[in-house]
Structure 1
Amino acid sequence: MKDNGTSDKIKGNVNKAKGEIKGNVNKAKGEIKDQIGNATDNKSLQAEGKLDKAKGHLQETVGKLKDGK
């Protein structure tokens, strides 16, 4: 049985999807923290939320780059 790279492509797509999913989760988590911090005047929580959002954007970008897009 020959493997013509199909399994590598599948693994690559899975890794890409994981990166994008993690990125989206962190962006959502960050947005929630940012909004709660803003509503409660908690600057520390707001800053943590902004950091999570930035981390999410980075993870999503890395996930997309793994696919070459």
Structure 2
Amino acid sequence: MVKINGEPVAAAGKSVSAYLAEAGYDSRAVAVEVNEAILPKVDYGQTILADGDVVEIVCFMGGGAR
């Protein structure tokens, strides 16, 4: 199991980009940290998640001052 945003997920063996697509994330609008290291977007496709990995996904939200 891979812990993603604090929850156990059966994502071992999948690339980060495959997981993001499967989970409905827009890879252009997120930042991903794997085992406490920020993952460059160019590495999403070749980084394969393994059992015990800890992943944090942060979504960017639009907004601004009034």
Q: Greater helix share, 1 or 2?
A: 1
Q: Greater strand share, 1 or 2?
A: 2
TM-score tier, shorter chain, comes to under 0.3
Highest CA radius of gyration, 1 or 2?
Answer: 1
The two structures have a TM-score, normalised by structure 2, of 0.22
The two structures have a TM-score, normalised by structure 1, of 0.22
